[in-house]
Structure 1
Amino acid sequence: MEAELRKEFSQNNFTIEDSETAQQCLSLCSSYDMTASDFVASWEVFYLNMQLDNGLVQSSQLEKFRQVLQNEQREAFRRKHSDIHFYTKDDVDMLMNNHDNDQDEITHGTPQTVPKTKRVSTPGQFRDASMDIDNQYVAPKTPASHGKTSTGASGQRPESSPLTPFSQRTNKCVVQFVFNKHLSEDASDVISTEASEDDFMRRLKPIQRLQVKIINGGPHAGCRYMYDRLESKFNELEKRIRRFVFAVSEHEQKNISHHVALASQEEVMVAGKVCCDGEGHLNSKSVLLEGSVEDSGGQRVRLDLHNISQYSLFPGQVLVVEGHNPSGHCLVASRLIDSIPLPLYFASHDHESPPAKRQASDQTAHLVADRSSTGLSILVAAGPFTTSDNLSFEPLGELLSHCRKKRPNLLLLLGPFVDSEHPQIKQGLVDKLFSHIFQEEIRMRIEEYCEEMGEGARVMFVPSSRDAHHNYVFPQPPFETNLFEDPGKQITLLANPGSFQIDKVTVCCCSMDILRHLSSEELSHGQPGASTDRLARLASHIVGQRSFYPLFPAAPGVPLDLSIAPEAMNLPCTPDILILPSDLAPFVKVLSSLATNTSESSGIKSDGKLEVDQVSMDFGHVGTICVNPGRLAKGVMGGTFVEMLIPTASEDLPVAQANKNLLARTKVVVTRI
């Protein structure tokens, strides 16, 4: 057999390092019941995927190769017994292990050591002699366990798995920042169960199911794109200007239909969008205001800003400018209006329904509130969900393990899921279809999580233009429904961008990194010596401009297509919570564009240090909590995610008062995975 193995390797241009390596290969052939030709064929695939060179079969590489063979055996076993659920020690340890309680999981700067767990044998388990299954598995757990090379179903690393930088991290579950930190004790009392219940009973208690209402659907699945015409872009930009002018006219009670390039000695109010006089970035000398075709024939005029003490501009921003234009070539601005937030969702929609329908809606909302009397818990994470050195999706496994202990009402996941920027995908080193990677690594894990947590647990998917298995277009349709098997209706597929309402809390989210795009194009000027919150200012443009992507032209690489569902780019209302994942530092802000006073805010600097800016806030003003959860995986290490705890509000509060209380009673925790 050894001679046959050496001959097969030689015919495929491989050389075995020494006799000891040959004996190890022979042992693997015997353990996995493989012929010499099958063994060498599997080695060749492994050789190419790992980018090995010189054609030498070394002893140091056989351990990783053994892991690949073991995973292939698990996959074959899972397909053969797909109708049987095999329980592992993790099912029992998740409930019985007292070391995994909430106090041990969330620390304040001190990393916790995960204790080793004992192997638990379950009734009816068996071991196939032809399979070398390590102590992480009694048998393949469910379809979700297939395809994992370095993580198990609960995110713990098998003893024999190769060490990765992610598995060796020392800052696991370290809390980076807590928004409304003074609510720590009260919020935990509301969200968690009574102190008399032990940890085992708390985890067995079913999650209360909440009603999720999709506000704007966005492009439908399977829509046609790449038919974007100049006419579509022109019409959408014109509509944006007209909508903004109408809102400002109602607010100011003034006519704003003047020509931007018409000479006038009197003070006038004109509207248009910001453009750059050149191909570079905006500066104070290159700002142009392009009027609408309806009022100004699309003409442009230079904008003089020397009388404006504070401003923040970017290309595509819609402005109403008050000033003088004595020559017709230069508009000397004395006032800029760049932010007109929309009303809240209930305030803007309740009057549209007849009284009988509103009463029925109120009764339904009351029933939902009764079911969620303990409050609302949302966990938010944004991709990538795997580190750049492998496709094992270790961070996702850790996240789901955390969710099994925290049991949130809603798990909101924003793409990319199969990241087209991942080195192995970008270089074409994977031997699977992108859709298969999503199904095996994402879908199966999520379906297993939903089945384990019960019908009350909800999971929501928001795609990204970086998803290699999905449509490369923005705005983006939701994932195809046939990608999931969801008998319990627990999985909701949202478009990108998307908006929904849960327990009277309106949430808007967009996986496109608009914050980073705005940061590279923004022209900002402030009063000397005055401190400004740049991240909050960038996020406030989204709400103030009433658009998920107000930048135009779009940043390089953004597949903006305004011919499909252009209304999907518009905010349907002022959200209570705005989720904008970004490569910028994770933060929690209350947007200053919605209140006269800057609110409590926080951010994490690029060097990892916490940046806190606390200013006394007048909660009498309506505000939006903006959250950047960061990326769940950053390079070969883990990133951050966000937990939001929102106690249920009183039913008899008016809309503005309820929103005010939302800011005061919402606890947001930024945690490292």
Structure 2
Amino acid sequence: MLTATAGTARDEVLSAFGPRLAQSPEVLERLVSYTKIFNVAAEDLHAKWEAYTLTPAAQRDDDDLSVPTLAHLDDLQTELLRKQQAAKQEAVLGSADSLLNVREVNPFTEGKMFTNESLQNLFSEGGQDKLGGFRTPAKVKRKVVPKDASTYSAGRFSASKGTPGGPSTPKTPVSMRFRPGDISPGSPLTPMRGMGERTTPVASPNAKVFADRLNKNKTEETLNDQVPLQKSKPDDAVPCEITLLPGQQTGGYRYMYERLMERGDYLDDRINTFADLITEAVQSRVKEEDRADVHVQHPGNPSQDTLFTVGRVCCDAVVEKAKLNDQSVVLEASRAIGAGDRVKINLREIPGYALFPGQIIGLEGMNASGRLINATKLYQPQLPAKATTTPSQLAALYPEDNPASERPVNVFIANGPYTLDDSLQYEPFEELVVEIEKEMPDVVILQGPFVDANHPMIEAGNVDMELDELFRVCIAPRVTRILQARKDNIKVIMIPSTRDACSEWVSFPQPSLAAGLDERAALERRRILGIPGEVMLFPNPVQFTVNEVVFACCSTDVLWQIAAEELARVPRPDAQHSGDPILGHKISRLFRHMMSQRSFYPLFPPALDDACLDLSRSAALELQATPDVLVVGSRLQYTARKVDGCLCINPGLLVKGRAGGTFAKMCIWPLDMARVRAMVKQRDAEAMDVDEQQVEEHAIANALDERCRVEIQRI
């Protein structure tokens, strides 16, 4: 019995960390022991490992963090022990929010008030020494002296001799500040003439470590390795037509004008819309004579019969930043379905589920008291229809007389930030540009942030130039080099981020990088940033097509935010409903949440620190169809997976702290055009037989997940 339990734990660890872990048996056994010692599930242990990889301690060496090593596990064990000890101490003493800590009690006085007589007795008994700890400390004059005065330059940081306080300590040494002369577009370590006072560039402490990294250009993951990889030809461009889908937030708008009634109406309409979709799906599963009995009911009405209802998942907790757990799940109905009532849900009879605040679900259960629904079934909304293309459209995209129509379209996808945490010289972005110049793909998708507002040097103000100028000096020239790699035959798409310091919009959905309230303002903004006119500036999020392939891209880290709020129970292997492999894989499950909820941001309430959600522009957040490719840049583990027929890609971050990250490469082969053209000719013949009346075309599924190769490559 013990062997079976150990084998089950080992299988769970392999499922959470990936099959590559089997190549390191010592690491595998160590992780299995951690699950027992710290009483933590394998999936939760993997989440703790992902959180550890983002810390400076994990990134101090240029190691491959996709698979744990014994050295890193020692640091992880120290962190787990620290959290375990803190949890024990909190259990004994109570947390800071505990009712026991609301009122401080003086152990010496035991809550009694002093009188003149008792105070005199206290001093006579030696209480003066005991009260010394409660006295106001005397002021002590301290002189602040720099540790090494030679590191600070004279000039504007030096105090004048007549200053009464003496020399002051500057916030940042001059040698560590960034100036325009520290960088050039061609080489990150070559100064530009006439743009700054410095003549010698200042490389970051980790620039040499990054340049000497051992895992350069290493392929970390491959999807559909049976699909051949064929590079583009520089002198013969593949037909590549890029079109925005209607309804995108391309233009600027005035935000912070959202009314509370608009937000309430949006949430109500969303519940009512999904109620119709879920009801229709449930009715299709029952007999035709029983379909009339399937209708949405008020979740708060007490009844001994089984009820069916639809609502939004919420957290029943008044504490700020409270997380969802199996005891705090409530269902909120719309005003039309249940007058906006919230009813608690009991999930004990559900073998497996994945819930998060804001998710719209349907459920069956019994509510005998009117206050608690004992759920027996949960229903998720069906995915939207998949993207299709007619044969005539495919024939127009891939002309028969063009030999290049038989070759694949190569796409590069990168997600910011693009520079190291202790540098603004954009060394990783320079490496990416060099790789693009060598490979010469057909399409390059660059997602922000380009000038990260959360960069430590920008937050500290250690930049002697405007942030727009930083973009114009460090980003725009390199984008121009990408365009010139194939004589303007490369399509470059730039998608902003809400963390972009050079963007005037921080709300989500976010207009394009150089957007304005009118066309004239947008053109002026593009000129200030120095973005070439050939670059396509798309909003965030965005849906567009590359030939017939539908892309849906988002630079906001929605996956991380949903993962932080998600409550999931993975069914055991012997459970009745354990046939869904996606439910057991966390990142695939997060991608499915976005598609089933038909939204780029299904989480509500939104994350306070990263998403200024403007629901008055909610139409731009809706997925119009199940895309062929869903790209979401996230700090979670990079991945490329098939989820319900959709290629879901997290290219990872190009830079992780002070180390290089990853980007994605796609090789998209066209459909069998000979078969498609035969279908077009057959349709034309049928049209002639019926006196040239228009014959309805049957749309063809794009089936991209079978003809596309995806590689996650390290920079």
State TM-score, norm by structure 2: 0.64
Residues 1:402 and 2:454 are matched in the alignment: no
- Residues of 2 paired with 1:162 and 1:41: CA distance? 28
1:437 maps to which residue? 470
Read off the aligned partner of 2:707 and give its amino acid letter: R
Which of the numbers 326, 332, 343 marks the counterpart of 1:290? 332
- Residues of 2 paired with 1:335 and 1:395: CA distance? 49
- Residues of 1 paired with 2:210 and 2:263: CA distance? 44
- 3-state SS in 2 of match to 1:630: coil
Distance 1:70 1:528, change over 3 A: closer
1:571 maps to which residue? 623
1:650 maps to which residue? 672
Which of the numbers 370, 377, 384 marks the counterpart of 1:335? 377
Q: Residue 238 of structure 2 contacts residue 409 of structure 2 at CA under 8 Å; is this kept in 1?
A: no
Q: Residue 463 of structure 1 contacts residue 496 of structure 1 at CA under 8 Å; is this kept in 2?
A: yes
Deviations 1:331-353 (A, max 9, x none): 22221112311002337xx7xxx
Deviations 1:377-414 (A, max 9, x none): 11000000000111001111110110011111111011
Alignment of 1:386-425 (within 5 A): 386-425=419-458
2:679 maps to which residue? none
Query: What's the CA shift for 1:169?
Result: 1.7
Q: Residue 323 of structure 1 contacts residue 334 of structure 1 at CA under 8 Å; is this kept in 2?
A: yes
Residues 1:266 and 2:305 are matched in the alignment: yes
Residues 1:513 and 2:557 are matched in the alignment: yes
Q: Residue 218 of structure 1 contacts residue 565 of structure 1 at CA under 8 Å; is this kept in 2?
A: no
2:214 maps to which residue? 170
Q: Residue 206 of structure 1 contacts residue 454 of structure 1 at CA under 8 Å; is this kept in 2?
A: no
1:457 maps to which residue? 490
Distance 1:345 1:659, change over 3 A: closer
- Residues of 2 paired with 1:648 and 1:282: CA distance? 45
Query: What's the CA shift for 1:450?
Result: 0.9
1:275 maps to which residue? 314
Q: Residue 387 of structure 2 contacts residue 702 of structure 2 at CA under 8 Å; is this kept in 1?
A: no
Structure 1 or 2, whichever has the larger Rg, is 2
Query: What's the CA shift for 1:330?
Result: 1.6
Q: Residue 641 of structure 1 contacts residue 671 of structure 1 at CA under 8 Å; is this kept in 2?
A: yes
- Residues of 2 paired with 1:148 and 1:235: CA distance? 59
Alignment of 1:217-366 (within 5 A): 217-253=247-283, 254=291, 255-278=294-317, 279=319, 280-346=322-388, 361=393, 364-366=396-398
Residues 1:52 and 2:91 are matched in the alignment: no
- 3-state SS in 1 of match to 2:612: coil
- 3-state SS in 2 of match to 1:166: helix
Alignment of 1:436-585 (within 5 A): 436-470=469-503, 471-480=505-514, 481-482=522-523, 483-484=525-526, 490-529=534-573, 532-585=584-637
1:129 maps to which residue? none
Which shifted more, 639-648 or 521-530? 521-530
Q: Residue 315 of structure 1 contacts residue 552 of structure 1 at CA under 8 Å; is this kept in 2?
A: yes
Q: Residue 554 of structure 2 contacts residue 631 of structure 2 at CA under 8 Å; is this kept in 1?
A: yes
Query: What's the CA shift for 1:40?
Result: 7.2
- Residues of 2 paired with 1:256 and 1:322: CA distance? 11
Query: What's the CA shift for 1:366?
Result: 3.9
- Residues of 2 paired with 1:553 and 1:70: CA distance? 44
Q: Residue 414 of structure 1 contacts residue 462 of structure 1 at CA under 8 Å; is this kept in 2?
A: yes
Q: Report the identity percentage.
A: 29
Query: What's the CA shift for 1:500?
Result: 0.7
- 3-state SS in 2 of match to 1:453: coil
State TM-score, norm by structure 1: 0.68
Q: Residue 369 of structure 1 contacts residue 503 of structure 1 at CA under 8 Å; is this kept in 2?
A: no
Query: What's the CA shift for 1:570?
Result: 0.8
Which shifted more, 421-430 or 477-486? 477-486
- Residues of 2 paired with 1:581 and 1:147: CA distance? 37
Q: Residue 209 of structure 1 contacts residue 455 of structure 1 at CA under 8 Å; is this kept in 2?
A: no
- Residues of 2 paired with 1:558 and 1:69: CA distance? 29
- Residues of 1 paired with 2:241 and 2:558: CA distance? 29
Which structure 1 segments of 5+ residues have no match? 1-12, 19-38, 54-60, 76-87, 91-132, 152-156, 194-201, 351-357, 595-622
Distance 1:384 1:148, change over 3 A: farther
Read off the aligned partner of 1:504 and give its amino acid letter: E
Query: What's the CA shift for 1:43?
Result: 10
- 3-state SS in 2 of match to 1:165: helix
Deviations 1:53-80 (A, max 9, x none): 8xxxxxxx7xx99x979659x89xxxxx
Deviations 1:234-287 (A, max 9, x none): 111112112212222332335543111122333232110001110321111111
Q: Residue 279 of structure 2 contacts residue 296 of structure 2 at CA under 8 Å; is this kept in 1?
A: no
Query: What's the CA shift for 1:209?
Result: 5.0
Q: Residue 148 of structure 1 contacts residue 392 of structure 1 at CA under 8 Å; is this kept in 2?
A: no
Number of residues of Structure 1 aligned to a counterpart in Structure 2: 506
Which structure 2 segments of 5+ residues have no match? 1-145, 159-167, 284-290, 515-521, 677-696
Query: What's the CA shift for 1:649?
Result: 1.1
2:238 maps to which residue? 208
Distance 1:328 1:463, change over 3 A: same
Alignment of 1:80-95 (within 5 A): none
Query: What's the CA shift for 1:489?
Result: 5.5
Q: Residue 346 of structure 1 contacts residue 655 of structure 1 at CA under 8 Å; is this kept in 2?
A: no
Q: Residue 394 of structure 2 contacts residue 548 of structure 2 at CA under 8 Å; is this kept in 1?
A: no
Query: What's the CA shift for 1:362?
Result: 5.3
- Residues of 1 paired with 2:429 and 2:316: CA distance? 46
Distance 1:205 1:148, change over 3 A: farther
- Residues of 2 paired with 1:291 and 1:432: CA distance? 52
- Residues of 2 paired with 1:268 and 1:563: CA distance? 31
The Cα RMSD (Å) is 3.8
Which of the numbers 201, 209, 226 marks the counterpart of 1:182? 226
